[in-house]
Structure 1
């Protein structure tokens, strides 16, 4: 769902035309030899910000006096390579380190707001910087040094002071005045005055492996002895500030085993520890109640979920995906394993192994792994590049196939290896740093709008969002060939309104209307909406109103009405806004108050709205548009207590109503008969209602599938995804087979259920099959080599985007061959015929059937080859090829059927032809049939098959081939199709290089060239035996002897006509018999 988008922005500390930070200590008049650091605040103008900080505290008190550092000691710190990166929890700030400096950055606008250059004495005493940490509230920075110290710094900001203010040009244009108004009042447009003050140096005598900065404490993994130390930011009431526990006691591991890495996830409240023996543990802090027990208390308890069984399986890096409860481990052999955390008691089974884009020797060692904030993308940095995967393993963009020499010469080191990376902007950008490079690259991503707002319309319309714009696919209503062209013009780009973007960055969610006419966006606060036709945005005129609420739980469109789930001053509401009105408080059409926050909101059917909330209740509303004022009418609700354990884990909800209830039933009774689909932690769950003997309603739960990234219930998209273009009634005279199997007479995929599982796209042709059967039926599997954005059902294609963000001819992918083959195998020919009637109007329908025939033929030839190589008898399945051929005959007009068969031969090898024609009439019969239908080009294709078969059998009947060519040239000349005549002439020359066969054919057809003088004064004609083949003229063309163009005549080099002219001669008797037939 994520793709790299465009060229990254490049940043560096003290780049060109930026003043260097001063380290002039003596100028401050303070000669304290214990001064630890110098700090400054970068702004647009040089500032005298070099100020000495407090004396080191704690372990730093015993430092010996030393001379103050000179400017030369730290004058080149800004040229050092970036060695560490840390982003704050809010995402509005991040810090970088080099060996001797710390820089604090503001995310938007991206700028260095403070920097610290360590003194030479500090470097000697504490050692170079190794890693940087940040307190979750961004008020404390912690730097780990090589000598086992933790240097802590306070981060202070002055909201009343600014070092940079973004201003718009004040002009008479009302739009610019509005932008100036916004920029004057919003703090998002400024760079604040932030300072860094040194606090203390903490010495860890046991050495430091890794440290984590949590809300209440620092957690430090030590080297010798292997242990865990917890250092509180503030002392407890008892006065203790540090607690420690040996690793062998926590994990019950040998004494020599230590930690090599650890990460913490706040959402799951889970620590992941990697040990030196290659194991991975899921660890939690022990409850505080244990302190009162008599037994010795344990600080942590954990469970091993990855235990290497062989060399190379040792865990080296780990990442946590709290959104989908996944733990991802990178092993020493390069494998990346994904585990599912089902509970906190050690039930963490292996889910899958990710496919690497290149070999471990090509990628190099893994440097970091990070999941996007929404959990849908895993970004992995390597020594020689980077790669991405979707949440359940679909490979995405990577940089391992770039030209390294070109990347190096252009200074694009982010392509050839990255050392650190962190997501910002809610997943809209990722910060990257390269090895031995002082620059930062901020790479923008384009992601499916589904990640921020799960909506059926977002799925159907193919909506993408970036950090600065949304991109909408607009090919649904265009002609078939334009839909699948993959041109850039099919995508509508619209930049977010600048004022709203600057005030409310990042944009968290986007949603498109079902008809594709409107798009709404929501950032940190407020919302805005856009008209595709007019290209105009509407934003709140009053910034106070815009900041008074935030969208929580999603949005959806009902025609031109935007329905938004919002939170405003502790109140949870559903608000209705009209696209036609200005965005103000007075323009709210309706407000529906809710008792708890919304998790999901989505339309169902024509006028229903489903709202799922934090209190585990699904509300059903009817959108009442019959009166002058549109309102929401609550008609029912379902409580899922005891069924859904964690409402926040639910990604989407749909329901399926019985057909009679949907058409004629009372909407208030929908909740009693509806089967509910939920997407929870990647599991697609079905809840089917049943009534107990006491009359109570209960639900039977079934898990339909695992590892589901999204699903599409087509009945929720019928109003815009499957326009009625064909007559769905039965033909006037149905065949006997269709009469015997009427259950498939209306098969159209309108009630189909689709889902994407990270590898392939799966579909059931009717969701009722799942509801009515005890076991989940086998779905149709559509393998894809790209990530699918949408299923365009009325076109029979799957729309997607290439992982490298480059377009090619087959960006859209036809799914017809898979669906029809599935019907032929599992449902029979009548079902396939019924399905085809809905797609036969497509201009590429015949091409899709040709691909189907080609794939089935490949499979049949492979099966025959395996059977021939087998030592003993094997059980062979009934061949599908004759069924497909019979289906083509029944579903297509004869000319199209003949053309599909001959096109299939042109694109396969000669050895495949025998298998194909085992189930077809002889090529001669098909050739004659094509001639009777006046399909001359199709007949030429069968002519090649005839010639190939005769060559293979060495029958030497070139006379038959000559006869067929004569007939074709005669018919083509009557139509004045001289291009076809030229191809046939070249074909005859390839058979007989002397030109005799061509002369006879031209003469028998009756085409004679105009006489021309011969060198000896006479006239020569085509019948002259002395004329060379190079002088042959006919059909208004010069026909020189040359190598034939086999691209237009033959699909393979194995089809080689004999070049012996004598073999091409025919007896006079045969020639006379041909002439007599032509004259009769």
Structure 2
């Protein structure tokens, strides 16, 4: 869902760090600042505008006494910094505001200066102040700042030490006038956890992190020097979620995340969870390439990415406590990008704040992956770019909004790589999935190619991306954009940033903003925006109150013009609009169903009901999208107020596509049976009013392909065993492999629209990233599914809806070709006879068969025509029906299978072509006769028989031209088929060389399709798509 775009920015590092070797960069907790560290200095930068505010260079005496800088850590308040040194000292700094701005901004001259996104207002000044030095006994290896304490990793002995924060003044030295060494931080001043006598293998910690999720205990993640990653919980919190786990005397309980322990069936309690003793397989020594070197926790998807020394990234799924961790999948850049050389060890990992993308730094490159495993961008030293970030990345992190990736290279250069992302990363709503809708730093992009004719949709040269720039007056002060929404007809767009909102109309080409900036700053959009016709539905937070407001596009944006305001008791997490039903899911795990009721003079929300999902959805904040499917009887005859109690709910939570089926007995409350359809689902599409058999179909993309359940209402319920990892319990109807990322499904055209990226390095000193549009025709695979299951009637009903599109015959040809290839290779002809029977219902069947034969290997013709029928019979049918070009294609088959009466069949078809004035076909037939008989006798016989040149016999030897005599005029009855405007009479060579066109007699080499075929553009489509003409 993320793709690099345009070109990177290289940041100019000012004095005094301009000549220093940078060791690392660390963003603050909120992401608005980042610190860069050298061996003796530290600098504080603002992300937007990207400038350095303050820097401190330590003196040589300070470096000798306290050691060189190794790493830097931000305090949770974003104002304190802790620098770890080589001698186990902690050098403390505070970031304080100054009364003067950091830089002198240019005067207000609109003609020469315009602030960019996030660059509005005065740039406040900041200063770094030394706050003292502390010493850690036992050798400090890492620091984890907590709100009221510091968790320190120790080397001797391996363990964790927790000390209060801010540090007591008696433990801090190095201040002005106090040069005495500080008292050491040890077990006497805090709580010490010795790993030697615990449930894990003792090894010094290298990296620590903590993640907090509402409804779950805080998880501490630790990387140790032996290449393992552990997930830990405090015994007190663990006892609240797992009775009995708090009985242990250990301060922490937990489990191995990497390598994950294998839970054995029949075990129970803390042994299964790995809370007592580490299993034997976890304690085994790891090979060097399999050792973990870094990790990153994705709290939105419940994943932990573990980078290995061998260059792979292991994705570990960590379900809600106390379920055990499990390996999900592996990211391998060398295999996915088909590289000749490996990228080297992983150096850094960083998740986007929405959890959809993972940035990976390698010794010799970088990459960005979707959480499901789709490669969205990469660079490698082998590509020959002059930019150092393409040759290896040391550290990286995402800026707020996730549209800039900051990278520190091995050469101590700082780069900012711009990205584009799908709008569904911020708000996964039905309308946002209806269109290919992208966000960039200062604009949104809408794909308008869907409004073009059929053939233009699948032509990459006709891509129409409309770039809509967000008003500068809004984006300069409200960057980054958090939500973007598009209307059902694609004409209205709304976006919201830090505060307020603004909306756009494609009809007028204008944006509307709040006239009063105080009203704009009075609320923040939290939960999303949706369009109901011309009315904008917005979930807002204002003065710690939560509301759903309705704004009209026709009115100015003002607090007085709010059409309706509905109070909500808790923050809105997800909204979804289905027809006029508004579904609102809140942080207290409650789903509200509203009906939008417009009248002549007003519009309002009517609450139909609400349902609590406590006990069903464990972590509400991990719900990314929701919708429902209604039975046909309810849609046609039911009361809309009762939709909620009969609808099958669809949730996208933790990357899993979940169905909740209602069950109600008598007057009891509605209960739900939960069914997990698939794991690693990044986006899904529902079609409540689909085409034919696609109604109520469910489409989900898992990072590698599209999974389709044709009727989600009829999926049989199956038991889901979370311990056995039974996520793949429901097999999809159809699976489509895609070579791009899908964004939109054009149901009426049978096309999937998506994007991919391209890197241009040729003749450029820098990398240029471009976004490319991709298309995939899904009709052949769905037709094949119906036919393979024996549902001929369903296939006919489905195909009838698409019989009028220009590339329908092409779809049938792909269907026949793929089935032929697969079943010949498999040695079983089960579906091919059904496909042939199916084709007989359409007038394009003969064209499809001949076109398929031209694109298949000759060895497969015997099987094909053994089912379709004899080529002679097809030839006669085509000739009798006036399908002359199709009949010409049959001549090649007849000749190859030695069933052709050369002179008779060709001459007969030549006469028909002359009568129909198919002059190009006439030339192809003549060329065909010359190709099967190089002596030219067959060609001369045909010309004499048909009478093409009655008064000028052809020369006996084609290479020797006759004397230049004027050609006699053609006979009155003969059409001007092969006349020439020169004094040289026609020869066989000239006939063969004139105006070559695509010949029906030539095999398509190289073959256009592989098995299964997956056409992406018109260039990979069969030529019979084009209607032959005379020029």
TM-score higher than 0.5: yes
* Equivalent of residue 456 in structure 1, options 420, 430, 442: 430
Distance 1:288 1:769 in 2: 42
Q: Report the CA distance between 1:987 and its aligned residue.
A: 2.2
Cα deviation digits, residues 61-84 of structure 1 (max 9, x gap): xxxxxxxxxxxxxxxx41234320
Distance of 1:772 and 1:140 partners within structure 2:
54
Structure 2: gaps of 5 or more residues: 172-187, 240-244, 260-281, 720-728, 760-768, 968-976, 980-985, 1008-1031
Residue 813 of structure 1 pairs with residue 776 of structure 2:
yes
SS of the residue corresponding to residue 124 of structure 2 reads: strand
Partner of 1:1004: 945
Q: In the superposition, relative to structure 1, how do residues 554 and 712 fare at CA in structure 2: closer, same or farther (>3 Å)?
A: same
Say what the alpha-carbon RMSD is for the aligned residues. Answer: 3.2
**What's 2:394 paired with?**
419
Structure number having the greater helix percentage: 1
Deviation at 1:105, TM superposition (A): 0.7
Which residue in the other structure is 2:265 paired with?
none
- 2:700 corresponds to: 755
Deviation at 1:885, TM superposition (A): 1.4
The match for 2:315 is 338
Deviations 1:877-921 (A, max 9, x none): x5211111111112x20xx21111111122222112222112122
Partner of 2:739: 785
Quickly say closer, same or farther: Cα 1:1010–1:664, change in 2 above 3 A: same
Equivalent positions of 1:526-541 (< 5 A) are 526-541=500-515
TM-fit CA distance, 1:340? 1.6
CA contact (8 A) 1:801 1:807 kept: no
* Equivalent-residue separation in structure 2 for 1:553 and 1:809 (angstroms): 31
CA shift, 1:518, in A, is 0.5
> 1:335-374 residue pairs with structure 2 within 5 A?
335-345=312-322, 347-356=324-333, 357=336, 358=338, 361-374=341-354
* CA–CA distance in structure 2, aligned partners of residues 696 and 11 of structure 1: 60
Structure 2 CA distance for partners of 1:572 and 1:166, relative to 1, 3 Å: farther
Shift of 1:968: 2.6
Deviation at 1:272, TM superposition (A): 1.7
Q: Is the 8 A contact 1:8 1:444 kept in 2?
A: yes
Spell out, residue by residue over 1:210-248, the C-alpha distance to the aligned partner (whole angstroms, 9 max, x if none): 333333333332333322233332257999754433222
What does the per-residue CA deviation read over 1:848-899, in whole Å, with 9 as the maximum and x for residues that have no partner?
11111111111022113xxxxxxxxxxx5x5211111111112x20xx2111
Q: CA deviation at 1:829?
A: 0.9
What secondary structure does 1:628 align onto? Answer: coil
Q: 1:442 aligns with which of 412, 416, 437?
A: 416
Call closer, same or farther: CA 1:828–1:427 in 2, change over 3 Å: same
Deviation at 1:403, TM superposition (A): 5.7
For residue 1053 of structure 1, report the CA deviation from its aligned partner.
Answer: 7.7
Task: Report the CA distance shift for 1:1053/1:370 in structure 2 as closer, same or farther (over 3 A).
Answer: closer
Matches within 5 A, 1:59-138: 77-138=17-78
TM-score when normalising by structure 1: 0.80
Cα distance in 1 for partners of 2:668, 2:84 equals 65
Q: CA deviation at 1:831?
A: 0.7
Partner Cα separation in structure 1 for residue 65 and residue 845 of structure 2? 84
Question: 1:476 is paired with a residue of what secondary structure?
Answer: helix
Partner of 2:371: 391
Q: 1:982 to 1:694 in 2, by over 3 A?
A: closer
1:632, CA displacement in angstroms? 0.9
Contact 1:1030 1:1039 in 2 (8 A): no
Tell me what 1:1016 maps to: none
Contact 2:959 2:989 in 1 (8 A): no
1:127 Cα offset (Å):
4.1
Counterpart residue number, 1:484: 458
The offset of 1:929, in angstroms, is 1.5
* Structure 1 position 655 matched with structure 2 position 628: yes
For structure 1, which segment, 123-132 or 591-600, has the greater mean C-alpha deviation from structure 2 after superposition? Answer: 123-132
Name which of structure 1's ranges 904-913 and 103-112 shifts more when overlaid on structure 2: 904-913
Write the mapping of 1:247-286 to structure 2, written as runs, cut at 5 A: 247-254=195-202, 257-267=203-213, 269-286=218-235
For 1:580-595, list aligned pairs within 5 A: 580-595=554-569
| Structure 1 residue 633 displacement after superposition | 1.4
CA change 1:984–1:396 in 2 (3 A) is same
Task: After superposition, give the CA deviation of every residue in 1:66-110 in whole Å (9 maximum; x if it has no partner).
Answer: xxxxxxxxxxx4123432011111111111123332111111111
Task: Describe the SS at the equivalent of 2:368.
Answer: strand
1:551 matched to which residue of 2? 525
CA distance change for structure 1 residues 335 and 578 in 2, over 3 Å: closer, same or farther?
A: same
Find the aligned partners of 2:302 and 2:641 in 1 and give their Cα distance.
36
**Partner of 1:797 in structure 2?**
751
Q: Distance in 2 between matches of 1:971 and 1:275?
A: 82
Structure 2: how far apart are the matches of 1:208 and 1:1010?
104
Q: Structure 1's 433 and 667: CA in aligned 2 closer, same or farther, altered over 3 A?
A: same
Q: Matched residue pairs, number?
A: 916
Query: Paired residue for 2:165?
Result: 233
Give the secondary structure class of the aligned counterpart of 2:451: coil
User: In structure 2, what is the equivalent of residue 767 of structure 1?
Assistant: 712
Residues 756 and 772 in structure 2, CA contact (< 8 A), matched pair in contact too? no
Deviation at 1:146, TM superposition (A): 3.1
Write the distance in 2 (CA, Å) between the matches of 1:1053 and 1:90. 57
- Return closer, same or farther for 1:296/1:160 CA change in 2, 3 Å cut-off: farther
Which secondary structure does the structure 1 equivalent of 2:494 belong to? strand
Q: What residue number does 2:181 align with? A: none
Q: Structure 1: how far apart are the matches of 2:740 and 2:51? A: 37
Q: Distance in 1 between matches of 2:490 and 2:933?
A: 62
Query: Which residue in the other structure is 1:314 paired with?
Result: 291
Q: 8 Å contact 2:958–2:987 — kept in the other structure?
A: no
8 A contact 2:757–2:771 mirrored in 1: no
Question: Is 1:991 matched up with 2:944?
Answer: no
Mean CA deviation greater in 520-529 or 159-168: 159-168
Change in 2 beyond 3 A, CA 1:127/1:78 = farther
Contact kept? 2:693, 2:794, Cα under 8 Å: no
Is 1:376 matched with 2:351?
no
Measured after TM superposition, the shift of residue 399 of structure 1 is 1.8
The 3 A distance-change label for structure 1 pair 128 and 360 is farther
Aligned residue number for residue 201 of structure 1: 133
Q: Deviations over 1:279-319 (max 9, x none)?
A: 321013444999xx999964433211323666343322211
Q: Decide which of 478, 481, 486 is 1:507's aligned counterpart.
A: 481
- Specify the alignment match of 2:144 in structure 1: 212
Aligned twin of 1:29? none
Separation in structure 1 between the aligned mates of residue 594 and residue 1004 of structure 2, nearest angstrom: 64
Partners of 1:968 and 1:376 lie apart in 2 by: 60
Equivalent residues of 1:993, 1:1029 under 8 A apart: no
The residue correspondences of 1:399-798 to structure 2 (distance < 5 A) are 399-400=379-380, 404-405=383-384, 407-408=385-386, 412-437=387-412, 439-487=413-461, 489-605=463-579, 607-692=580-665, 695-715=668-688, 718=689, 747-770=692-715, 776=730, 778-798=732-752
Runs of at least 5 residues in structure 1 that lack an aligned partner in the other structure: 15-19, 22-76, 723-746, 865-875, 951-956, 1012-1020, 1056-1080
Q: State the shift of 1:820 in Å.
A: 0.6
From 822, 827, 830, give the equivalent of 1:879. Answer: 830
- TM-score with structure 2 length normalisation? 0.83
Bigger drift between 156-165 and 565-574 goes to 156-165
Instruction: String of CA shifts for 1:540-592, please: whole Å, max 9, x gaps.
Output: 11111111000111111100000101000011111000011111111111111
The answer (yes or no) to whether the contact 1:372–1:423 under 8 Å persists in 2 is yes
Per-residue Cα deviation, 1:103-140 (whole angstroms, up to 9, x for no partner) = 11111111111112233333444444332222222211
